[in-house]
Amino acid sequence: MQSIKRIHVVAAVIYGDSDQILIARRPKHLHQGGLWEFPGGKIEADESAYQGLVRELNEELAINVTTATPYMQVSHDYRDKHVLLDIWQVTAFTGEPRGVEGQKCRWVPLTELLGKTNSYEFPEANKPILQKLAASLPHNPA
């Protein structure tokens, strides 16, 4: 029996102007390809989660993180791999985010991202992040 791969990943909830969040679309050829995600990537063996965050966001988006705080951790088991996500909130950075590796990136208002008309499909491992973000919104009584 083959053991299932364990991957430590760092991801960022990147805040822009007017309560917008930056999301990126996973390239089709990757695991969970075509789905939207919070940008990030695998942490290298010799780096901390913060170091991995800074490196990955620079490599993937060409930005330099200046302010980031831990947000939450999510452990999720897919059939073919187990992922541990270290999620950070990035509230300040330099540079203009762009998909360095050809991935689509989009600023989305938080209310749209979490609304009933949300057309962005995320991997299962990202759902707890969306739930925590939704819980942080002021609730409007219907």
> How far is residue 23's CA from residue 37's CA, in Å, rounded to a whole number?
6
> How far is residue 103's CA from residue 67's CA, in Å, rounded to a whole number?
24
- pLDDT tens track of the chain, all 142 residues? 456 778 899 999 999 988 899 999 987 766 667 889 999 999 999 999 999 999 999 999 999 999 999 999 999 888 777 889 999 999 999 999 999 988 999 999 988 888 776 788 888 888 899 999 988 876 544 3
- Model confidence, pTM: 0.87
Please give the distance of CA 101 from its chain centroid, rounded to a whole number: 16
Give the CATH number of domain 5-136; options: 3.90.79.10, 3.20.20.70, 3.40.50.20, 3.40.50.300.
3.90.79.10
